[in-house]
Amino acid sequence: MTTVLVFLDHPGASLAKSEREILSLGASLGEVVVALADEAGPAYLDGVGSYGVREYYRPETAAVSEVLVAGKAAFLAAAVRASGAGVVLLGNAYESKEIAARLGVRLEAGVITDVVALDSDLTATKSDFAGSYTVECRVTTDVSILTVKPNSFEAVEAGPPSSPREVPIPVELPLAAARVTGRVDKPVSGRPDLSEARVIVAGGRGVNGNFGPLEELADALGGAVGASRAATDAGWIEHSAQIGQTGKTVSPQLYISAGISGAIQQKAGMQTSKVIVAINKDADSPVFEIADFGIVGDLFTVLPQATDEIRKRGL
């Protein structure tokens, strides 16, 4: 049976939806083992074990997490050799893609990024050109390294909690590498993470720096707030809120686009949403081509009315 190594970076209090998806995908391919570069609590490890994972690899030195991608790539290469894994699965964030690339160089292995579907023979389907095309490809080396887009695979229901066994492994860290010199905790908003949210209210250039109406609507719906690159580049909202080709890929039940033109780069990050509602003053805006419901109007008039009505109805 093929051994599948799943790399889980930045463990939280519990497994995130994207982590459950990648563990489920790994279990469908073979026997799953996990690599954790950072410390994880008992609840998180129980969650990992509930997906049939019997052991996880940890670096013997805690310095790995302080050497950014170079250290994590070195650790992951050691974990692949220790486990004999034939498949390595990672998330699709920028950092994960760079780790995958460095790992590919270390192992002389093929790398496929942006995977949205995977056959049993490891033929991967990936999206290219901002989601305008799909490509089927397959790694021909002994080890296949794949980064998986969130919301592309179903997270199967986990089994009973089970604590996997820790396997410490030595890691030779690179001498020349960027290191973490300090950390600042991100303010807690109380809203769900973009990748986890069932409802997302996203704003673009049309908000003109004022995300207040979007935040009020998102809070009324129990959703998250996202943005286009134009809005994040303007400094109106943090870059972690960016959705699109160079941002996060989301697939909520409801996606409300306010003041976003809907250029192809934005579509790449949200076009798999179940229901898309677009609000824009320009009736010819490209976003209306993919929207299920469109409202031609001023978002500063439409959004407060929607928020008031939702609150009246107690939705």
DSSP 130: T
What distance in Å separates the CA atoms of residue 222 and residue 203, rounded to the nearest whole number?
A: 17
**152 is known to lie in a ligand binding site:** no
208 assigned ligand-binding residue: no
**58 annotated ligand binder:** no
- Please tell me the distance from the alpha carbon of residue 84 to that of residue 97, in angstroms, as a whole number: 21
- 244 labelled binding-site residue: yes
Domain boundaries along the sequence of the chain: 3-169, 199-313
Q: Could you say which of 2.60.40.290, 1.10.10.60, 3.30.1380.20, 3.40.50.1220 is the CATH number of the domain covering 199-313?
A: 3.40.50.1220
CA distance 185 to 193: 15
229 carries a ligand binding annotation: yes
Per-residue pLDDT of the chain (315 residues; tens, 9 = 90+): 799 999 998 787 788 888 999 999 999 999 999 999 888 888 999 999 999 899 999 998 777 777 778 889 999 999 999 999 999 999 988 889 999 999 999 999 999 998 989 998 999 998 777 667 789 999 999 999 999 988 788 888 778 888 899 999 998 877 666 777 777 776 667 788 887 789 999 999 999 999 999 999 999 999 999 999 999 999 999 998 999 877 888 889 999 999 999 887 778 788 878 899 999 999 999 999 999 999 999 999 999 999 999 998 876
Which residue type is seen at 99?
Answer: I
Q: What is the pTM of this model?
A: 0.81
Do the domains 3-169 and 199-313 sit in the same CATH topology, yes or no? yes
User: CATH homologous superfamily for 3-169?
Assistant: HUPs (3.40.50.620)
Q: Measure the CA–CA gap between 59 and 74, rounded to whole angstroms.
A: 10
- Binning the chain into helix, strand and coil, the percentages to the nearest 5 are 35, 25, 45
Is 245 labeled as ligand-binding? yes
205 is in an annotated binding site: yes
Distance CA 123, CA 231 (A): 37
212 is in an annotated binding site: no
